[in-house]
Structure 1
Amino acid sequence: MFRRHPLLSLLTVAYLGGLVWITLTPSSDDFRADSVVYVLLDIFQSNASTAWLNYNIVEFAANVILFVPMGVFVVLLFGRRLWWAGIGAGVLAACWIELAQGIWFAYRVTDMRDIASNTLGTVLGVMLALLITWPAANRHRALVAARAARQASA
């Protein structure tokens, strides 16, 4: 599978490396009121129509978005039949990250909501990959059925 999809495998490894770097290194935006995130949140919160947007919502959404590629890559690498492995990989990765943050990295904060948001992101990624690959799967299924019909009539 990795030999059949070398570029996809390389992208997956790069994504996983980035994921480790983002989740297990100190964050530059933590507790700084002048950071880009807080400046943008101040702008959004000063407008009545976007005042509902706060740091917790932004963090949750970022965690969801961060794990969407996990589901996509697993489905694309291992196939549609193993879609559940994509969700399992996301849950295991999220749990491992939170465990590592709690045990080895005092500068990171563990939070069960992160596991929930990461799992949601993985599920959305799996669904996106299944949606993207659906037309090709239908063509493949029709081709297999046509071959079987030709062999049965021969």
Structure 2
Amino acid sequence: MTARDHRTVGAPLALLVLYTLFIAAITLTPQQMGTGPDTLIGHLLDLFAAHRETAWLTYERVEKLGNVAMFIPFGFLAALHFGRGRWWLGFLFGASFSAAIEIFQGTVLTQTRFATLSDLVTNTLGAGIGALLGLCCMAVWPARTARAGADRELAAV
């Protein structure tokens, strides 16, 4: 059994490139997402604050959860691209990409963005979760050669 299922080499890489561009568009532009009271996020935070069960979802917590969630697909797609033997590179590349974002925000976008260690940690955590999910999926999905043999056995019956 090989470390990579060659049928899925192109798709995760193409999706990873597109998703990387999506993250870059969100994080590497001078404008932040609207967080004022008349924005979607503002309305959601008001809704959360109005209920005792969700009042703990403050802006800071939603932002941290959002950072984790944003990098889960990145780590997942990177792990699928690199395969079973090098799935951990999804975590490493996620941490590196997050560090590059924070450096760019802290040096180039200083007027409108803030580089924080918290963002680096939460983004990296998300990439790590995604990479582990990718590894779990690859462990559950049999490689093509294993499936082909099982299909031949079923056809012979």
Question: Does TM-score exceed 0.5, indicating one fold?
Answer: yes
Structure 2 counterpart of 1:76: 80
> How big is each residue's C-alpha offset from its partner over 1:9-35, in whole Å with a ceiling of 9 and x where there is no partner?
2211110110100111112314x2211
1:41 is paired with a residue whose SS is helix
Q: Which of the residues 126, 135, 138 maps onto 1:121? A: 126
Q: In structure 2, how many angstroms separate the alpha carbons of the residues matched to 1:52 and 1:64?
A: 17
Offset, 1:140: 6.2
Structure 2 counterpart of 1:49: 53
Within-5 A mapping of 1:134-145: 134-137=139-142
Q: Does 1:15 align with 2:14?
A: no
Q: In structure 1, how many angstroms separate the alpha carbons of the residues matched to 2:16 and 2:59?
A: 29
Q: In structure 1, how many angstroms separate the alpha carbons of the residues matched to 2:102 and 2:138?
A: 31
Q: Which of the residues 116, 122, 129 maps onto 1:111? A: 116
Offset, 1:77: 0.9
Q: Which of the residues 59, 66, 78 maps onto 2:63? A: 59
Q: In structure 2, how many angstroms separate the alpha carbons of the residues matched to 1:9 and 1:89?
A: 13
Normalising to structure 1: TM-score of the pair?
0.82
2:44 is paired with a residue whose SS is helix
Unmatched 5+ residue regions in structure 2? 149-157
Q: In structure 1, how many angstroms separate the alpha carbons of the residues matched to 2:117 and 2:70?
A: 16
Matched residues, percent identical?
33
- Tell me: higher relative CO, structure 1 or 2? Use CA pairs within 8 A at least 6 residues apart: 2
Equivalent residues of 2:8, 2:81 under 8 A apart: no
Q: In structure 2, how many angstroms separate the alpha carbons of the residues matched to 1:19 and 1:50?
A: 27
Q: In structure 2, how many angstroms separate the alpha carbons of the residues matched to 1:118 and 1:76?
A: 18
Offset, 1:3: 9.5
Amino acid at match of 2:91: I
Unmatched 5+ residue regions in structure 1? 144-154
Q: In structure 2, how many angstroms separate the alpha carbons of the residues matched to 1:109 and 1:81?
A: 36
Count of paired positions: 143
